[in-house]
Structure 1
Amino acid sequence: MAVPLVLLHLAGAWFVYTAFTIRPAGSWDDEARAGIVLSCVLAIALSVIAAAITLPATIRRVMGPWWLAPPLLLGAAAAIQWSLRA
């Protein structure tokens, strides 16, 4: 289960990175704002999937509870960026 989770975390981190690096050229730049929102939505979706994989007790027992930290942090960062930029 570690390989799919690492891939989900990397993809989520990429979307959070893009959400934080996209800068609108002005108040009229709706495409940049849409890109930020899309990146945030995809990062949150990947975080929910990764958390759903990690939440069962059998997975946590084998892999450890620290695997819940990356999806929670990435999801929170994406939600904050979405609320600030949207």
Structure 2
Amino acid sequence: MDIGSDELSIETPASPSSTVVMGVAERERTSPLEIEPLYETIDPDALDRLFPNDGSVRITFEYSGYLVTVHGNGHIEIRDVGIDIGE
């Protein structure tokens, strides 16, 4: 794992949107209720309908100061916005 990044895999029944919110809250060391609502950045229901899939779809978006990538296989990356993905 790169310094400044977290990689999460959905291995529980949690939805991708819930996993993103929980992951960012964990990075911020705060309650999920204390960070901006996900719906202000992306439609959580649409995100949940897209994933998991056959692996052909991936979406990246900025949320609460982090660059979030959700892969079709359920893998989720949460990186500081300033971290280059190629690092």
The answer to whether the superposition gives a TM-score over 0.5 is: no
- Short-chain TM bin: under 0.3
**TM-score normalized with structure 2 length:** 0.26
Higher helix share: 1
TM-score, reference length from structure 1: 0.26
Which one has a larger percent strand, Structure 1 or Structure 2? 2
